[in-house]
Amino acid sequence: MIKLTAMIIDDEPLAHEIILDYLTELPFVEVIHQAYNAIEALGYLNQQQVDLLFLDINMPKLSGIDFLKVLNNKPQVIITSAYRQYALESFDLDVCDYLLKPYRFERFLKAVNKAHQQFQFKKEDVTNAVEETKSKTLFIKVDKKLIQLAIDQISFLEAYGNYVKVWVNDKVYLTPRTLISFEKELVSDNEEFLRIHKSYIVQKSQIISIENKIIEMNNQQQIPVGKSYKHMIKLIKGS
């Protein structure tokens, strides 16, 4: 189970004690900081991220509501307040739950479970987004640096001795790799790329026309279809 780091923000020491006591029963939440006003909490959050806030509303200098309005990179937030009238405004600020003091352990547990679940969903979304981004980009070495290319922008790849020319529209990147290595990376995992010659891999969506075993790409480059790859024309026409 994913463990949440938490901070308590409340000007009443008793409120801290109640939360800490309840959390002894919930090993998946660890309080790493306690603040007794929102200004102190902001200072801490500028240096350290947390996953969950237990936040009071009525505090000196800066209320919990105003604190939420100025907070960047908002974590999961559970409001703990003695005032019912701030609930609607709090939910407009995307808090996870609103606990009205005094609250029982069962209600506290429900709020924390909800925050934990939402945190897991958010983390999974971020992970999926990162993986999706990785799958849509390709790093190649050019000279002494790595260049990141959008895979869907690659027109074709051309073997060039001990190098490969990676054509992205009219721009060419020369990288010290073999065409076979690109074939394993792109053709095996992506039906959009086809090996049509011992020296060429093309992206189907970048093809303009096929005539007499000559493929014209979107950048007006013409590529021959190799004798051993004539069957690929059917795959291209069927796309």
Smallest CA-to-CA distance from 179 within 196, 148, 200 is with 200
Going by their DSSP bridges, the two strands 4-9 and 52-55 should be labelled as: parallel
Q: Which two tokens stand for residue 106?
A: 């069962």
Task: Render pLDDT for 150-196 as a digit per residue (tens, 0 to 9).
Answer: 998 999 999 999 999 999 988 999 999 999 999 988 886 667 899 99
Task: Render pLDDT for 81-100 as a digit per residue (tens, 0 to 9).
Answer: 999 999 999 999 999 999 99
Task: Render pLDDT for 112-154 as a digit per residue (tens, 0 to 9).
Answer: 999 999 888 877 655 555 555 445 888 999 998 999 999 989 9
Assess whether pLDDT exceeds 90 at residue 25.
yes
pLDDT band at 197 (very low <50, low <70, confident <90, very high): very high
* Burial of 33 per CB tally in 10 Å (0-12, 13-18, 19+): middle
Task: Render pLDDT for 226-236 as a digit per residue (tens, 0 to 9).
Answer: 988 888 887 77
Least confident of 50-54, 127-131, 144-148, 218-222: 127-131
Smallest CA-to-CA distance from 196 within 159, 239, 225 is with 225
- How far apart are alpha carbons 109 and 113 in whole angstroms? 6
The stretch 24-32 carries a mean pLDDT of 95
The type of residue at 171 is K
What's the pLDDT score for residue 80?
97
pLDDT band at 75 (very low <50, low <70, confident <90, very high): very high
47-to-7, 16, 56, 123, 148 alpha-carbon distances in Å: 13, 22, 21, 21, 31
What percentage of the chain exceeds 90 in pLDDT? 73
pLDDT band at 45 (very low <50, low <70, confident <90, very high): very high
What's the pLDDT score for residue 226?
93
